[in-house]
Amino acid sequence: MRIMLHGWDTSHRMGVPEICDSMTSIVKKMGHEYVPNESKVICAEAIGFLGYDNLTDDFAKATVKEMEEKVSKYDIDLILTAYAAPYAAWSKEREGFLVKRGYELPVPIEHIATFLYKNLDKLKFKELDMTVLMHDGCTLGRKMRVADEPRKVLEKIPKLKYVNFDHPELYVKERDLKPWDISACPGGWLDFTLPELMPYVASNVIREYALPREVDTIVTTCGNGYHAFKAGVKHGGFDIKAMAYPMLIDMALEGVQ
């Protein structure tokens, strides 16, 4: 398969190229070819909730046009992303925001977690003797309910243990809240709206929710969230690592059977 990696520009612009590195590595280990999508395209839903709904349709059309060109030029089979927003906007399977608005990408889009889950039988992992704190991105977990998939993949990694990010025991069982309902956001989107505030929010989320759990790594399914956690770790001077979901997977993935 030839896979277009989406979110390339965003990752580089935010100073988290390691997301791209791990995505590239995973794709290669799985025996696929990759093409980075270096354009500024983000999901056209985000521009709407940033206050520019007037650009949503034009942006969606422009995105489709660019994707059609690239798909035919590079013979792309799939678009893959570590970010939740483009998946939430464009996934046909999940009836994404823009799909409902009548737009369609020329090939399917997957989030790295759903992609790995769909290939779970084939994946070969080595042991990872560590315990991580699993953070569900707000869009992916709370909004889209994509929470089992990333966990099932983690469960396949020998020796790896994960604990959920929040303290579900603090909530009332009658409300039937899931860990992904209550997962606290480290404020990744603030980078687009009030960047000065992001490190404070992220470091406090780490301090309040992650440090008491006695794990050495936070792993998040949200690309923006990783960016925020990374800034929060630095800001707080904490002795804890942050990882984007594909970074952790890449550490364990050996290849496919």
Partner 1 sequence: MIDDVVQEYTKRIIEYGAKSEKVRIALSRAIKAFENNRRNALGMFPQSIDTAKEVRKIKEYSIEHMDKLIKKACESIERNHGHCYYAKTKEEALQIFKELVGTGKLIVKSKSLTSEEIHLREFLEELGNEVYETDLGEFIVQLMGTRPTHILAPAINVPREDVAKLLSKFMKEQGIIEEDLDERDIEAMVAVVRKFLRDKFFKADIGINGANALAADTGTMFIIENEGNARLSIGAPPVQIAIVGVEKIVPTIEDAFKVTEVTWRYANYTVPAYVNLVSGPSKTGDIEKVITYGAHGPKELHVILLDNGRTRMHEEGYNEALYCLRCGTCLYECPVYAVTAGFFGQQYMGGIGAIWDAFTTVGLEKASPVAYTCVRCGKCKVMCPLNIDIPDMIAKLRNDARKQGYIPKVVRDFAAEVEEFIKEQK
Q: Which residues bind partner 1 (CB under 8 A)?
A: 39-42, 47-55, 58-59, 61-62, 65-66, 138, 142-143, 167, 170-175, 177, 181-190, 192-197, 200-201, 204-205, 208
CB of 250 to partner 1, least distance (A): 27
CB of 50 to partner 1, least distance (A): 6
How far is C-alpha 150 from the chain's CA centre? 10
CB of 170 to partner 1, least distance (A): 5
Exposed/middle/buried for 36, CB within 10 Å: 0-12, 13-18, 19+? middle
Contact (Cβ atoms closer than 8 angstroms) between residue 1 and residue 35: no
Q: Which strands, in side-by-side order, build the sheet including 109-111? A: 33-36, 2-6, 78-81, 109-111
CB closer to partner 1 out of 128 and 201:
201
> How many angstroms separate the most distant Cα atoms in the chain?
53
CB closer to partner 1 out of 26 and 138:
138
CB closer to partner 1 out of 111 and 123:
111
CB of 197 to partner 1, least distance (A): 6
How many degrees, rounded to 5, is the angle at CA 36 between CA 86 and CA 80?
40
Q: For residue 141, what is the DSSP state? A: I
**Residue 25: count of CB within 10 angstroms of its CB:** 17
CB closer to partner 1 out of 26 and 202:
202
CB closer to partner 1 out of 82 and 201:
201
CB closer to partner 1 out of 123 and 190:
190
Contact (Cβ atoms closer than 8 angstroms) between residue 83 and residue 224: yes
Euclidean distance between CA atoms 61 and 67, whole angstroms: 10
CB of 39 to partner 1, least distance (A): 7
How far is C-alpha 211 from the chain's CA centre? 22
CB of 131 to partner 1, least distance (A): 23
Euclidean distance between CA atoms 233 and 239, whole angstroms: 8
